[in-house]
Structure 1
Amino acid sequence: MIFSRTTRAIEADLHGASKYWLVCLVLMCGAVGWWGVGARVSVWETSDAARVELVHGPTVVQAPEAGRLSMFEMQVGKRVAQGDALASLEVEQQRLHGERVRASIAAARAQIEAVDAEIAALDELLSGGAEAAQARARVVQSQLKRAELAVEFAERETARVRQLQKSGVSAPVELDEQEAALARARTEREELARALHSRRWDASATRAELRARRERGRRERAELRGTLGELEGKMAELDYEIERHTIRAPITGRLGEVRELHVGAVVSRAQQLGTIVGDGELHAVAFFEPSQVLGRLEAGKTARVELHGFPWPEFPVLRARVTQVAAAADNRDRTRVELALIDPPSSLPLRHGQPARIEVRVREQSPLDLLLRSIGMHLRGVSAVAQ
């Protein structure tokens, strides 16, 4: 009797506890089901092949022409300003040519001045001045001055060509031509000197002769001015060519990569000498597998950037936003994704080329959908292995 009562009491207690645990189980299942259907979980795609880059990338420094380096002032990490001379190529040939052209320009200007004086004297004769004879003498004197200038120029050119021939730069025929020109100039000067001292101007010289002489002088002046313009144009081209042999910094920044070169080294046209990392805006770049990107990543998606080598307690994870997704994969079957950094802290030492890990939020879905998708992917994988 006592045992039966005890047994019934225990059964009553167990029945009450079972109801309690059953209610708890139902509530828990309901909560889990509500969470599995109603909650939203962010799905992220991750890339460890990421880094920080300049928006416009580094600028390449190239050799504009082939030649031998006469100056090379490029060191990794050196800060340069736009326009600073980084290297230069030898320009000895252009420099010698430039000296010759400058001498020709000076001679042409002196001859133009002499012709101007001759024309002014003829104008004075034609205007009926009282001292007609003196004016005629000044004409001859102007012609003699031009001849003397021509002799001086020919002597300088002959000396210069003779010196170039000694150094092996000039050909012998050029020296012969220059000496012949010098002889002709000296003969003309001697004839004008004799005319100045012995000849007497004919008082009956007609005004027509004077006008003809003035017209010849004007034509000669026009030709000299044309020659002067050509020489000045040639000198401008030489100055430009010499400047092209000076390699200058195209932007302000720091030298990031420099080829191992030295003074005397020979470089080819368009050869890369180094790169300059500018002070422009930085952004993040990540490379994903095409399966991670196609139909999932697009401009405007939010992301997180974690820089390698910086402890997260001191340097927080950066926020970013997708700005561009490449339309095709590169030669390594990766898709490039560019992201804009959102308000990076000024205390963070961001630099071009810093490696990073980037996570992009592609969508939000319920935990139940995520579970079912994972199960389906697993079953497809098992089925493929079995086949």
Structure 2
Amino acid sequence: MKTNLRAGSQSATTFTRFMRSLGADRARRSLIGILLALLFLGAWVAWLFLARVTVYEVTESARIEAEGAGYTVESAVAGRVVSTQLKLGREVKAGDALAELDTDEQRMKLEEERTRLRSIGPQIDAIAGEVAAEERALENARRASVVALEEARSRVGEAEVAAQFAAEEARRLGELFAQGYVAELVILKARSDAKGRRAAVESLKLNASRMERDQQTVESERRVRIEKLLRERRELEAARASSASAVERLQGEIERRTIRSPVSGQLGEVTTSKEGAVVGAGDKLGTVVPAAGGLRIIAEFPASALGRVREGQGARMRLTSFPWTQYGSLAARVTRVAGELRDGKIRVELAVEMPEGSPLTIQHGLPGSIEVEVERVAPATLLLRAVKILTRPSASSDANRGGDG
């Protein structure tokens, strides 16, 4: 009996000790769990405020271009392509003919204007000869008229002297007739002779006046003919200038129908390469990539990137043609940022940083996406920004409700 009691007492003691040990283990485990939780929370808070996360500005609108950009080959006028040397990858020099448009109509008009221009010159020379002949004839007639007029005036003077002498003779005979020294027939004859000589004087004066008027009439008629010839010459000279201008214009139009390379380089894009194709004024036929210079990246970012994307920032480009998981991305650096928006976009230029041994092969025109590293901030900052963005609509709706109230 005593043995059973002792065994039961020992079992109770062992159970009590076990329960105490189990409680102590639980307390230690709880303490360790709390300490681990506090440690994890502290580490998370430290990471939240002390760590740095890279923030990127991303755009899908990016492409690789040659330095100075590719030069567009476009048609200055509308027409039909009759000859073309537009072949992708062809090396060209500045001024090389790349395509020709139909010029039959312009060449026909050009030949007509040249024929008209050649015919006008002899006409102008002929009129110039006529003008010179008329001017010489006018000068000769003027000199002859002056001589004839002087001669007529001399005859008037001579007749005037004779008339005065006859009048004086008639007066003197009249005195003698009054004294009875001469017969009446003599005085009558003297007076008749004086009247005749006076009439001759008047006739000569009228003749001289008529000669002067005739001279003026002849000179006026010749001047009218000369002025008419000069007017015809001016009209022909104007027609010659117009034809010369038309010739230059048609030559320029024919030249514009020969589409030439703006720079030396390589044809990196061809949009029209078939003879017989009809193009309009300003239509793009291709692009010439300059021979000299490296490559750059041109990207367009949304308006929100203005002020965030700055020169010197690092970036990476993922080319559409090369999966980035296989080929990786292309390192770049921002070199220029536009100062104003255009069509709601901001233009950014980046320099390519091509590492040696890269599997990527880049060339003008390759598209892709760009990630620009704009800042490094704590995760807490990003969290606060996200909260601010999420609470902004509710704040505005509360304001609207307050306004309604």
The normalised TM-score by structure 2 is 0.53
Q: In 2, Cα distance between the equivalents of 1:85 and 1:309?
A: 33
Contact 2:86–2:273 (Cα < 8 Å) also in 1 = no
For 1:342, give the aligned amino acid.
Answer: E
Q: In 2, Cα distance between the equivalents of 1:13 and 1:63?
A: 90
1:37-66 per-position Cα deviation (integer Å, ceiling 9, x unaligned):
222111112112222223322212244667
Instruction: Structure 1 unaligned segments of length 5 or more: list them.
Output: 101-163, 182-233
1:24 partnered with 2:36? yes
For 2:63, give the aligned amino acid.
Answer: R
* Offset of residue 358 of structure 1: 0.9
Contact 1:75–1:258 (Cα < 8 Å) also in 2 = no
Pick closer, same or farther for the CA change 1:43–1:68 going to 2, 3 Å: closer
Q: In 2, Cα distance between the equivalents of 1:69 and 1:20?
A: 86
SS at match of 2:39: helix
SS at match of 2:364: coil
Contact 1:257–1:276 (Cα < 8 Å) also in 2 = no
Matches within 5 A, 1:1-387: 1-2=12-13, 3-63=15-75, 70-88=82-100, 174=119, 246-251=258-263, 252-259=265-272, 262=275, 272-279=284-291, 280-291=293-304, 293-331=305-343, 333-344=344-355, 347-384=359-396
C-alpha RMSD of the superposition: 4.2
Q: Which stretch shifts more, 82-91 or 357-366? A: 82-91
Q: In 1, Cα distance between the equivalents of 2:341 and 2:106?
A: 49
Percent identity at matched positions?
36
Contact 2:59–2:370 (Cα < 8 Å) also in 1 = yes
SS at match of 1:350: coil
SS at match of 1:305: strand
For 1:285, give the aligned amino acid.
Answer: I
For 1:31, give the aligned amino acid.
Answer: A
Q: In 2, Cα distance between the equivalents of 1:327 and 1:336?
A: 9
* Offset of residue 362 of structure 1: 0.8
SS at match of 2:361: coil
Q: In 2, Cα distance between the equivalents of 1:79 and 1:72?
A: 14
Q: In 2, Cα distance between the equivalents of 1:356 and 1:300?
A: 20
Contact 2:86–2:270 (Cα < 8 Å) also in 1 = no
Q: In 2, Cα distance between the equivalents of 1:52 and 1:61?
A: 19
Q: In 2, Cα distance between the equivalents of 1:55 and 1:6?
A: 83
* Offset of residue 343 of structure 1: 2.3
Q: In 2, Cα distance between the equivalents of 1:378 and 1:65?
A: 56
Pick closer, same or farther for the CA change 1:266–1:305 going to 2, 3 Å: closer
Pick closer, same or farther for the CA change 1:347–1:22 going to 2, 3 Å: closer
From the two aligned structures, give the one with the greater helix fraction.
2
Pick closer, same or farther for the CA change 1:382–1:352 going to 2, 3 Å: farther
* Offset of residue 297 of structure 1: 1.3
